[in-house]
Structure 1
Amino acid sequence: MKSLKKLLVALSFAPLAAFASSGVHLDRAPDLQGDQQALQNGAKTFVTYCLSCHGASYVRYNRLLELGFTEEQVKDELMTTADKIGEPMRIAGRAEEQKAWFGATPPDLSLVARSRASGDGSGADWLYTYLRSFYRDENRPTGWNNVVFENVGMPHVFWELQGEQHLNHETHKLELAVPGQLSPAEYDQKVGELVNYLVWMAEPDAGLRKKIGVGVLLFLAVLFGAAYMLKKEYWKDVH
Protein backbone atom coordinates (compact mmCIF):
# COMPACT_ATOMS: atom_id res chain seq x y z
CA MET A 1 0.00 0.00 0.00
CA LYS A 2 2.85 2.35 0.85
CA SER A 3 4.56 1.64 -2.48
CA LEU A 4 1.27 2.28 -4.31
CA LYS A 5 0.95 5.68 -2.63
CA LYS A 6 4.51 6.57 -3.68
CA LEU A 7 3.77 5.55 -7.26
CA LEU A 8 0.61 7.70 -7.35
CA VAL A 9 2.57 10.68 -6.01
CA ALA A 10 5.27 10.19 -8.65
CA LEU A 11 2.68 10.02 -11.41
CA SER A 12 0.90 13.10 -10.10
CA PHE A 13 4.09 15.14 -10.32
CA ALA A 14 5.00 13.80 -13.77
CA PRO A 15 2.95 16.41 -15.69
CA LEU A 16 4.52 19.17 -13.60
CA ALA A 17 8.02 17.98 -14.41
CA ALA A 18 7.16 18.02 -18.10
CA PHE A 19 7.01 21.83 -18.01
CA ALA A 20 10.40 22.14 -16.28
CA SER A 21 12.19 22.98 -19.52
CA SER A 22 15.33 25.07 -19.58
CA GLY A 23 14.78 26.23 -23.15
CA VAL A 24 17.96 24.43 -24.24
CA HIS A 25 17.85 22.55 -27.54
CA LEU A 26 17.52 18.83 -26.84
CA ASP A 27 19.52 16.37 -28.92
CA ARG A 28 17.64 13.39 -30.31
CA ALA A 29 18.38 10.24 -28.33
CA PRO A 30 19.05 7.06 -30.30
CA ASP A 31 16.22 4.51 -30.30
CA LEU A 32 17.76 1.22 -29.14
CA GLN A 33 14.65 -0.43 -27.73
CA GLY A 34 14.98 -3.32 -30.15
CA ASP A 35 18.66 -3.87 -29.33
CA GLN A 36 18.81 -6.32 -26.41
CA GLN A 37 22.57 -6.03 -26.03
CA ALA A 38 22.35 -2.23 -25.80
CA LEU A 39 19.66 -2.51 -23.11
CA GLN A 40 21.82 -4.98 -21.18
CA ASN A 41 24.76 -2.57 -21.38
CA GLY A 42 22.49 0.23 -20.15
CA ALA A 43 21.33 -1.90 -17.23
CA LYS A 44 24.93 -2.60 -16.22
CA THR A 45 25.77 1.11 -16.41
CA PHE A 46 22.74 1.97 -14.31
CA VAL A 47 23.67 -0.51 -11.60
CA THR A 48 27.32 0.55 -11.60
CA TYR A 49 26.95 4.32 -11.67
CA CYS A 50 23.38 5.25 -10.69
CA LEU A 51 21.98 2.76 -8.20
CA SER A 52 24.26 3.89 -5.39
CA CYS A 53 22.34 7.19 -5.21
CA HIS A 54 19.17 6.73 -7.27
CA GLY A 55 16.76 3.90 -6.62
CA ALA A 56 14.34 2.26 -9.05
CA SER A 57 11.95 0.99 -6.44
CA TYR A 58 9.09 0.25 -8.86
CA VAL A 59 11.20 -2.24 -10.82
CA ARG A 60 12.18 -5.66 -9.48
CA TYR A 61 15.44 -7.36 -10.32
CA ASN A 62 13.64 -10.33 -11.88
CA ARG A 63 12.33 -8.07 -14.66
CA LEU A 64 15.90 -7.87 -15.95
CA LEU A 65 15.42 -11.44 -17.14
CA GLU A 66 13.24 -9.94 -19.89
CA LEU A 67 16.36 -8.27 -21.29
CA GLY A 68 18.04 -11.62 -21.86
CA PHE A 69 20.00 -11.87 -18.61
CA THR A 70 20.08 -15.24 -16.92
CA GLU A 71 19.09 -15.49 -13.27
CA GLU A 72 22.72 -16.23 -12.40
CA GLN A 73 23.91 -13.09 -14.22
CA VAL A 74 21.40 -10.93 -12.40
CA LYS A 75 22.40 -12.35 -9.02
CA ASP A 76 26.16 -12.25 -9.65
CA GLU A 77 26.52 -9.02 -11.65
CA LEU A 78 23.52 -6.78 -11.01
CA MET A 79 22.00 -7.47 -7.59
CA THR A 80 23.91 -4.97 -5.46
CA THR A 81 21.09 -3.82 -3.18
CA ALA A 82 19.02 -6.96 -2.59
CA ASP A 83 19.29 -10.56 -1.47
CA LYS A 84 16.41 -12.04 -3.48
CA ILE A 85 15.83 -11.62 -7.19
CA GLY A 86 12.20 -10.65 -6.64
CA GLU A 87 13.11 -7.58 -4.57
CA PRO A 88 12.88 -3.99 -5.91
CA MET A 89 15.95 -2.13 -7.13
CA ARG A 90 16.22 -0.04 -4.00
CA ILE A 91 18.73 2.68 -3.36
CA ALA A 92 22.09 1.65 -1.93
CA GLY A 93 22.74 4.84 0.07
CA ARG A 94 20.90 6.32 3.02
CA ALA A 95 18.41 9.09 2.30
CA GLU A 96 19.43 11.24 5.27
CA GLU A 97 23.11 11.06 4.30
CA GLN A 98 22.37 11.94 0.67
CA LYS A 99 20.30 14.94 1.71
CA ALA A 100 23.24 16.18 3.77
CA TRP A 101 25.68 15.63 0.90
CA PHE A 102 23.65 16.98 -2.03
CA GLY A 103 21.13 19.27 -0.33
CA ALA A 104 18.23 17.05 -1.41
CA THR A 105 17.53 13.34 -1.63
CA PRO A 106 18.22 12.08 -5.18
CA PRO A 107 14.91 11.13 -6.86
CA ASP A 108 13.81 7.62 -7.73
CA LEU A 109 14.46 6.97 -11.43
CA SER A 110 11.76 4.38 -12.12
CA LEU A 111 9.64 6.85 -14.13
CA VAL A 112 12.17 9.56 -14.99
CA ALA A 113 12.06 8.82 -18.74
CA ARG A 114 8.32 9.51 -18.71
CA SER A 115 8.26 12.41 -16.27
CA ARG A 116 10.85 14.40 -18.25
CA ALA A 117 8.88 14.33 -21.50
CA SER A 118 7.78 17.77 -22.68
CA GLY A 119 6.77 19.70 -25.76
CA ASP A 120 10.47 20.25 -26.51
CA GLY A 121 11.20 16.54 -26.81
CA SER A 122 10.79 13.13 -25.25
CA GLY A 123 12.06 12.15 -21.84
CA ALA A 124 14.78 10.19 -23.62
CA ASP A 125 15.92 13.34 -25.44
CA TRP A 126 16.05 15.28 -22.18
CA LEU A 127 18.07 12.59 -20.39
CA TYR A 128 20.40 12.09 -23.36
CA THR A 129 21.18 15.80 -23.56
CA TYR A 130 21.40 16.25 -19.79
CA LEU A 131 23.93 13.45 -19.25
CA ARG A 132 26.18 14.95 -21.94
CA SER A 133 25.94 18.57 -20.74
CA PHE A 134 27.91 18.68 -17.49
CA TYR A 135 30.72 21.20 -17.24
CA ARG A 136 33.21 22.37 -14.63
CA ASP A 137 31.93 25.12 -12.33
CA GLU A 138 34.04 25.87 -9.28
CA ASN A 139 31.24 28.00 -7.85
CA ARG A 140 29.08 24.93 -7.31
CA PRO A 141 29.49 22.75 -4.18
CA THR A 142 30.13 19.63 -6.30
CA GLY A 143 32.39 21.45 -8.75
CA TRP A 144 29.97 20.72 -11.60
CA ASN A 145 27.05 22.40 -13.33
CA ASN A 146 24.78 21.47 -16.21
CA VAL A 147 23.51 23.41 -19.21
CA VAL A 148 20.17 21.60 -19.27
CA PHE A 149 19.58 21.61 -15.50
CA GLU A 150 21.23 24.74 -14.15
CA ASN A 151 22.64 24.54 -10.60
CA VAL A 152 21.78 20.87 -10.32
CA GLY A 153 22.91 19.22 -7.10
CA MET A 154 24.05 16.05 -8.85
CA PRO A 155 27.79 15.75 -9.52
CA HIS A 156 29.06 14.48 -12.86
CA VAL A 157 29.39 10.77 -12.06
CA PHE A 158 30.62 10.00 -15.61
CA TRP A 159 33.40 12.58 -15.68
CA GLU A 160 36.16 9.98 -15.86
CA LEU A 161 34.49 8.49 -18.93
CA GLN A 162 33.56 11.73 -20.69
CA GLY A 163 36.35 13.98 -19.50
CA GLU A 164 36.10 17.58 -18.36
CA GLN A 165 33.99 20.05 -20.31
CA HIS A 166 34.14 23.82 -19.91
CA LEU A 167 31.44 26.29 -20.86
CA ASN A 168 32.50 28.98 -23.30
CA HIS A 169 30.54 31.96 -21.99
CA GLU A 170 30.99 33.86 -25.26
CA THR A 171 29.60 31.18 -27.56
CA HIS A 172 27.54 29.45 -24.84
CA LYS A 173 28.88 26.13 -26.08
CA LEU A 174 30.57 23.28 -24.25
CA GLU A 175 34.19 22.49 -25.06
CA LEU A 176 36.06 19.34 -24.09
CA ALA A 177 39.05 20.64 -22.13
CA VAL A 178 40.33 17.34 -20.69
CA PRO A 179 39.64 14.10 -22.61
CA GLY A 180 38.17 11.16 -20.72
CA GLN A 181 38.58 7.42 -20.96
CA LEU A 182 36.11 7.27 -23.85
CA SER A 183 36.04 9.20 -27.09
CA PRO A 184 33.07 11.57 -27.55
CA ALA A 185 31.41 9.04 -29.87
CA GLU A 186 31.95 6.19 -27.40
CA TYR A 187 30.60 8.28 -24.54
CA ASP A 188 27.52 9.23 -26.55
CA GLN A 189 26.92 5.55 -27.26
CA LYS A 190 27.23 4.63 -23.57
CA VAL A 191 24.82 7.39 -22.57
CA GLY A 192 22.42 6.33 -25.32
CA GLU A 193 22.39 2.77 -23.98
CA LEU A 194 21.76 4.00 -20.44
CA VAL A 195 18.94 6.29 -21.56
CA ASN A 196 17.27 3.48 -23.50
CA TYR A 197 17.44 1.29 -20.41
CA LEU A 198 15.76 4.08 -18.42
CA VAL A 199 13.07 4.27 -21.11
CA TRP A 200 12.56 0.50 -20.91
CA MET A 201 12.51 0.63 -17.10
CA ALA A 202 9.79 3.30 -17.11
CA GLU A 203 7.50 0.94 -19.04
CA PRO A 204 8.89 -2.60 -19.41
CA ASP A 205 5.71 -3.80 -21.12
CA ALA A 206 5.76 -1.11 -23.81
CA GLY A 207 6.97 -3.54 -26.47
CA LEU A 208 4.24 -6.05 -25.66
CA ARG A 209 1.64 -3.28 -25.55
CA LYS A 210 2.63 -2.12 -29.03
CA LYS A 211 2.50 -5.66 -30.43
CA ILE A 212 -0.97 -6.16 -28.94
CA GLY A 213 -2.03 -2.80 -30.38
CA VAL A 214 -0.90 -3.80 -33.88
CA GLY A 215 -2.74 -7.11 -33.53
CA VAL A 216 -5.93 -5.34 -32.44
CA LEU A 217 -5.75 -2.94 -35.39
CA LEU A 218 -5.28 -5.83 -37.83
CA PHE A 219 -8.23 -7.65 -36.27
CA LEU A 220 -10.40 -4.55 -36.55
CA ALA A 221 -9.37 -4.13 -40.20
CA VAL A 222 -10.41 -7.72 -40.99
CA LEU A 223 -13.60 -7.28 -38.99
CA PHE A 224 -14.40 -4.08 -40.86
CA GLY A 225 -13.98 -5.84 -44.19
CA ALA A 226 -16.26 -8.68 -43.13
CA ALA A 227 -18.84 -6.24 -41.74
CA TYR A 228 -18.76 -4.21 -44.95
CA MET A 229 -19.30 -7.26 -47.12
CA LEU A 230 -22.16 -8.39 -44.85
CA LYS A 231 -23.71 -4.94 -45.11
CA LYS A 232 -23.55 -5.04 -48.92
CA GLU A 233 -25.08 -8.51 -49.01
CA TYR A 234 -27.87 -7.54 -46.58
CA TRP A 235 -28.84 -4.34 -48.38
CA LYS A 236 -28.27 -5.44 -52.00
CA ASP A 237 -32.01 -5.69 -52.76
CA VAL A 238 -32.66 -2.24 -51.33
CA HIS A 239 -29.95 -0.54 -53.37
Structure 2
Amino acid sequence: MIRYAVFLIFSFLVVGQVSAASSDISLDTFPVSRVNNNAALQNGAKLYFNYCLGCHGISQVRYSRLKDLGLTESQIKENFFQNSSLANVATTIVSPMKAKDAKVWLGKAPPDLSLTARSRSSHDGSGADWIYTYLRSYYADPSQRTGWNNLVYPGVGMPNVLWDLQGTNKVIFTEETVNGNKTGNKLVSLEITEPGRMTKAEFDENMADLTAFLVWASDPTGQFRKQLGVWVLLFLGVFVFVAWRLNAAYWKDIK
Protein backbone atom coordinates (compact mmCIF):
# COMPACT_ATOMS: atom_id res chain seq x y z
CA MET A 1 0.00 0.00 0.00
CA ILE A 2 2.85 2.37 0.89
CA ARG A 3 4.49 1.57 -2.45
CA TYR A 4 1.34 2.61 -4.34
CA ALA A 5 1.03 5.80 -2.29
CA VAL A 6 4.63 6.77 -3.06
CA PHE A 7 4.06 6.04 -6.76
CA LEU A 8 0.91 8.20 -6.77
CA ILE A 9 2.67 11.12 -5.07
CA PHE A 10 5.60 10.86 -7.48
CA SER A 11 3.20 10.83 -10.45
CA PHE A 12 1.57 14.07 -9.29
CA LEU A 13 5.00 15.66 -8.84
CA VAL A 14 6.01 14.72 -12.37
CA VAL A 15 2.75 16.03 -13.81
CA GLY A 16 3.23 19.25 -11.90
CA GLN A 17 6.74 19.68 -13.30
CA VAL A 18 5.57 19.04 -16.85
CA SER A 19 2.72 21.51 -16.45
CA ALA A 20 5.05 24.14 -15.07
CA ALA A 21 7.39 23.71 -18.04
CA SER A 22 4.63 24.03 -20.63
CA SER A 23 3.39 27.23 -22.25
CA ASP A 24 0.40 29.08 -20.82
CA ILE A 25 -0.69 30.44 -24.19
CA SER A 26 -4.23 29.58 -25.28
CA LEU A 27 -4.41 27.50 -28.43
CA ASP A 28 -6.23 28.90 -31.45
CA THR A 29 -9.01 26.80 -32.94
CA PHE A 30 -8.05 25.02 -36.13
CA PRO A 31 -10.68 25.31 -38.92
CA VAL A 32 -11.50 21.60 -39.18
CA SER A 33 -13.39 21.99 -42.47
CA ARG A 34 -10.00 22.22 -44.19
CA VAL A 35 -9.45 18.50 -43.71
CA ASN A 36 -12.36 17.83 -46.09
CA ASN A 37 -11.10 20.27 -48.73
CA ASN A 38 -8.83 18.69 -51.35
CA ALA A 39 -7.56 22.08 -52.56
CA ALA A 40 -6.49 22.96 -49.01
CA LEU A 41 -4.88 19.55 -48.53
CA GLN A 42 -2.98 19.86 -51.82
CA ASN A 43 -1.68 23.29 -50.81
CA GLY A 44 -0.74 21.88 -47.40
CA ALA A 45 1.14 19.05 -49.10
CA LYS A 46 3.04 21.57 -51.24
CA LEU A 47 4.04 23.55 -48.14
CA TYR A 48 5.07 20.38 -46.31
CA PHE A 49 7.27 19.13 -49.15
CA ASN A 50 8.84 22.57 -49.69
CA TYR A 51 9.46 23.55 -46.07
CA CYS A 52 9.24 20.50 -43.79
CA LEU A 53 10.39 17.34 -45.55
CA GLY A 54 14.04 18.40 -45.49
CA CYS A 55 14.08 17.49 -41.79
CA HIS A 56 10.75 15.85 -40.93
CA GLY A 57 9.34 12.76 -42.61
CA ILE A 58 5.86 11.26 -42.42
CA SER A 59 7.07 7.68 -42.69
CA GLN A 60 3.66 6.16 -41.98
CA VAL A 61 2.38 7.52 -45.30
CA ARG A 62 3.26 6.37 -48.82
CA TYR A 63 3.45 8.67 -51.82
CA SER A 64 0.62 6.67 -53.39
CA ARG A 65 -1.71 7.91 -50.63
CA LEU A 66 -1.47 11.40 -52.10
CA LYS A 67 -3.84 10.16 -54.81
CA ASP A 68 -6.55 10.44 -52.14
CA LEU A 69 -6.06 14.22 -52.33
CA GLY A 70 -7.09 14.25 -55.98
CA LEU A 71 -3.57 14.04 -57.43
CA THR A 72 -2.51 11.78 -60.28
CA GLU A 73 0.58 9.58 -60.15
CA SER A 74 2.36 11.80 -62.68
CA GLN A 75 1.58 14.91 -60.60
CA ILE A 76 2.93 13.20 -57.48
CA LYS A 77 6.17 12.23 -59.21
CA GLU A 78 6.62 15.61 -60.87
CA ASN A 79 5.89 17.78 -57.84
CA PHE A 80 6.77 15.73 -54.76
CA PHE A 81 9.57 13.31 -55.60
CA GLN A 82 12.55 15.02 -54.00
CA ASN A 83 14.91 12.16 -54.70
CA SER A 84 15.46 10.80 -58.22
CA SER A 85 16.27 7.37 -56.76
CA LEU A 86 12.63 6.88 -55.72
CA ALA A 87 11.40 4.04 -57.89
CA ASN A 88 7.64 4.30 -57.47
CA VAL A 89 4.83 5.88 -55.49
CA ALA A 90 4.74 2.92 -53.09
CA THR A 91 7.76 4.45 -51.32
CA THR A 92 7.15 5.88 -47.85
CA ILE A 93 7.61 9.62 -47.35
CA VAL A 94 10.83 10.01 -45.38
CA SER A 95 13.23 12.89 -44.95
CA PRO A 96 16.39 12.82 -47.08
CA MET A 97 18.35 13.83 -43.98
CA LYS A 98 20.02 10.83 -42.36
CA ALA A 99 19.51 10.40 -38.61
CA LYS A 100 23.26 10.20 -37.89
CA ASP A 101 23.87 13.44 -39.81
CA ALA A 102 20.97 15.14 -38.04
CA LYS A 103 22.48 14.25 -34.66
CA VAL A 104 25.78 15.84 -35.68
CA TRP A 105 24.25 18.97 -37.18
CA LEU A 106 21.27 19.51 -34.87
CA GLY A 107 22.08 17.58 -31.70
CA LYS A 108 19.29 15.05 -32.30
CA ALA A 109 17.22 13.73 -35.17
CA PRO A 110 14.09 15.81 -35.92
CA PRO A 111 10.88 13.91 -35.07
CA ASP A 112 8.72 12.17 -37.63
CA LEU A 113 5.44 14.04 -38.07
CA SER A 114 3.19 11.10 -38.98
CA LEU A 115 1.29 11.13 -35.68
CA THR A 116 1.97 14.65 -34.38
CA ALA A 117 -1.66 15.68 -34.89
CA ARG A 118 -2.64 12.90 -32.48
CA SER A 119 0.23 13.01 -29.98
CA ARG A 120 -0.12 16.76 -29.35
CA SER A 121 -3.76 16.48 -28.31
CA SER A 122 -4.35 17.53 -24.69
CA HIS A 123 -6.88 19.15 -22.38
CA ASP A 124 -5.83 22.50 -23.88
CA GLY A 125 -7.06 21.54 -27.34
CA SER A 126 -6.69 19.09 -30.19
CA GLY A 127 -3.38 18.22 -31.80
CA ALA A 128 -4.52 20.22 -34.83
CA ASP A 129 -5.07 23.28 -32.59
CA TRP A 130 -1.55 22.85 -31.22
CA ILE A 131 0.09 22.60 -34.66
CA TYR A 132 -1.93 25.50 -36.07
CA THR A 133 -1.00 27.77 -33.16
CA TYR A 134 2.63 26.61 -33.03
CA LEU A 135 3.28 27.36 -36.71
CA ARG A 136 2.05 30.95 -36.22
CA SER A 137 3.76 31.68 -32.89
CA TYR A 138 7.43 32.12 -33.79
CA TYR A 139 9.23 35.32 -32.86
CA ALA A 140 12.79 36.63 -33.05
CA ASP A 141 14.82 35.94 -29.90
CA PRO A 142 18.55 36.77 -30.00
CA SER A 143 19.09 34.86 -26.75
CA GLN A 144 18.32 31.57 -28.49
CA ARG A 145 20.93 29.60 -30.44
CA THR A 146 18.80 29.66 -33.59
CA GLY A 147 17.72 33.28 -33.14
CA TRP A 148 14.08 32.17 -32.81
CA ASN A 149 11.67 31.20 -30.07
CA ASN A 150 8.06 30.07 -29.93
CA LEU A 151 5.21 31.01 -27.62
CA VAL A 152 3.70 27.52 -27.74
CA TYR A 153 7.02 25.69 -27.35
CA PRO A 154 9.40 27.94 -25.35
CA GLY A 155 13.05 27.17 -26.02
CA VAL A 156 12.24 25.25 -29.21
CA GLY A 157 15.31 23.98 -31.05
CA MET A 158 13.81 24.38 -34.52
CA PRO A 159 14.27 27.75 -36.27
CA ASN A 160 11.41 29.46 -38.06
CA VAL A 161 11.74 27.92 -41.52
CA LEU A 162 8.64 29.83 -42.65
CA TRP A 163 10.05 33.26 -41.85
CA ASP A 164 10.18 34.32 -45.52
CA LEU A 165 6.41 33.81 -45.72
CA GLN A 166 5.47 35.12 -42.29
CA GLY A 167 8.07 37.80 -41.75
CA THR A 168 9.82 38.54 -38.45
CA ASN A 169 7.81 38.94 -35.25
CA LYS A 170 8.70 40.44 -31.92
CA VAL A 171 6.95 39.56 -28.72
CA ILE A 172 5.89 42.14 -26.15
CA PHE A 173 5.60 41.09 -22.51
CA THR A 174 4.53 43.02 -19.45
CA GLU A 175 5.67 42.22 -15.94
CA GLU A 176 2.82 40.71 -13.94
CA THR A 177 2.48 41.31 -10.21
CA VAL A 178 0.03 40.01 -7.62
CA ASN A 179 -0.20 41.82 -4.25
CA GLY A 180 3.04 43.57 -5.05
CA ASN A 181 4.89 40.34 -5.81
CA LYS A 182 6.31 39.68 -9.27
CA THR A 183 4.83 36.51 -10.75
CA GLY A 184 6.51 36.56 -14.16
CA ASN A 185 5.86 37.94 -17.63
CA LYS A 186 2.47 38.15 -19.29
CA LEU A 187 2.14 38.16 -23.08
CA VAL A 188 0.74 41.40 -24.46
CA SER A 189 1.10 40.98 -28.21
CA LEU A 190 3.05 39.49 -31.10
CA GLU A 191 3.91 42.15 -33.67
CA ILE A 192 5.46 41.95 -37.14
CA THR A 193 8.67 43.99 -37.36
CA GLU A 194 9.66 42.86 -40.85
CA PRO A 195 6.92 41.72 -43.22
CA GLY A 196 7.20 38.51 -45.21
CA ARG A 197 5.88 37.53 -48.62
CA MET A 198 2.39 36.97 -47.21
CA THR A 199 0.01 39.11 -45.22
CA LYS A 200 -1.01 37.83 -41.80
CA ALA A 201 -4.36 36.62 -43.16
CA GLU A 202 -2.67 34.82 -46.06
CA PHE A 203 -0.13 33.21 -43.75
CA ASP A 204 -2.86 32.03 -41.38
CA GLU A 205 -4.75 30.49 -44.32
CA ASN A 206 -1.65 28.65 -45.52
CA MET A 207 -0.80 27.39 -42.04
CA ALA A 208 -4.36 26.08 -41.75
CA ASP A 209 -3.75 24.17 -44.99
CA LEU A 210 -0.42 22.80 -43.74
CA THR A 211 -2.06 21.75 -40.48
CA ALA A 212 -4.89 20.08 -42.41
CA PHE A 213 -2.34 18.05 -44.37
CA LEU A 214 -0.62 16.89 -41.17
CA VAL A 215 -4.00 15.97 -39.69
CA TRP A 216 -4.76 13.97 -42.84
CA ALA A 217 -1.31 12.32 -42.68
CA SER A 218 -2.01 11.12 -39.14
CA ASP A 219 -5.03 9.16 -40.43
CA PRO A 220 -5.15 9.04 -44.26
CA THR A 221 -8.16 6.71 -44.30
CA GLY A 222 -10.10 8.72 -41.73
CA GLN A 223 -12.44 10.46 -44.18
CA PHE A 224 -13.12 7.22 -46.06
CA ARG A 225 -14.00 5.46 -42.81
CA LYS A 226 -16.36 8.25 -41.81
CA GLN A 227 -18.11 8.15 -45.18
CA LEU A 228 -18.29 4.36 -45.08
CA GLY A 229 -19.65 4.53 -41.53
CA VAL A 230 -22.62 6.60 -42.70
CA TRP A 231 -23.52 3.99 -45.32
CA VAL A 232 -23.08 1.16 -42.81
CA LEU A 233 -25.46 2.88 -40.37
CA LEU A 234 -28.00 3.44 -43.15
CA PHE A 235 -27.74 -0.23 -44.15
CA LEU A 236 -28.20 -1.35 -40.55
CA GLY A 237 -31.23 0.92 -40.22
CA VAL A 238 -32.87 -0.58 -43.32
CA PHE A 239 -31.90 -4.10 -42.23
CA VAL A 240 -33.43 -3.63 -38.77
CA PHE A 241 -36.66 -2.29 -40.29
CA VAL A 242 -36.92 -5.23 -42.76
CA ALA A 243 -36.11 -7.75 -40.00
CA TRP A 244 -38.77 -6.20 -37.73
CA ARG A 245 -41.46 -6.35 -40.44
CA LEU A 246 -40.42 -9.90 -41.42
CA ASN A 247 -40.61 -10.99 -37.79
CA ALA A 248 -44.10 -9.49 -37.51
CA ALA A 249 -45.19 -11.34 -40.67
CA TYR A 250 -43.86 -14.69 -39.39
CA TRP A 251 -45.61 -14.38 -36.03
CA LYS A 252 -48.88 -12.97 -37.37
CA ASP A 253 -50.51 -16.37 -38.06
CA ILE A 254 -49.09 -18.00 -34.93
CA LYS A 255 -50.50 -15.37 -32.62
TM-score range relative to shorter protein: 0.7 to 0.9
For residues 183-219 of structure 1, what are the alpha-carbon distances to aligned partners after superposition, in whole Å with 9 as ceiling and x for unaligned?
Answer: 0000001111111111111111111100111111112
Shift of 1:98: 2.0
Instruction: Give the Cα–Cα distance (whole angstroms) in 2 for the partners of residues 103 and 238 of structure 1.
Output: 80
Q: Does 1:97 align with 2:101?
A: yes
Instruction: Give the Cα–Cα distance (whole angstroms) in 2 for the partners of residues 165 and 120 of structure 1.
Output: 24
1:111-150 alignment, distance < 5 Å:
111-150=115-154
Shift of 1:90: 1.3
Hey, what does 1:22 align to over in structure 2?
Answer: 23
Shift of 1:235: 6.2
For residues 84-118 of structure 1, what are the alpha-carbon distances to aligned partners after superposition, in whole Å with 9 as ceiling and x for unaligned?
Answer: 22211111112223223332210011111111112
Larger Rg: 2
- Contiguous gaps of at least 5 residues in structure 2: 1-14, 175-185
Q: Does 1:181 align with 2:197?
A: yes
Moved over 4 A (4+): 230-239
The alignment partner of 1:33 has SS state of helix
- Contiguous gaps of at least 5 residues in structure 1: 1-15
Instruction: Give the Cα–Cα distance (whole angstroms) in 1 for the partners of residues 116 and 250 of structure 2.
Output: 54
Q: How many pairs does the alignment contain?
A: 222
Instruction: Give the Cα–Cα distance (whole angstroms) in 2 for the partners of residues 119 and 223 of structure 1.
Output: 39
For residues 6-63 of structure 1, what are the alpha-carbon distances to aligned partners after superposition, in whole Å with 9 as ceiling and x for unaligned?
Answer: xxxxxxxxxx9xx986342111112212211111111111111000000111111111
Instruction: Give the Cα–Cα distance (whole angstroms) in 1 for the partners of residues 86 and 249 of structure 2.
Output: 65
Across the aligned residues of Structure 1 and Structure 2, the Cα RMSD in angstroms comes to 2.2
Q: Percent identity?
A: 46
Instruction: Give the Cα–Cα distance (whole angstroms) in 1 for the partners of residues 133 and 90 of structure 2.
Output: 33
Give the direction of change, closer, same or farther, for the CA distance of 1:138–1:220 in structure 2 (3 Å limit). same
TM-score, normalised via structure 1 length: 0.85
Hey, what does 1:167 align to over in structure 2?
Answer: 171
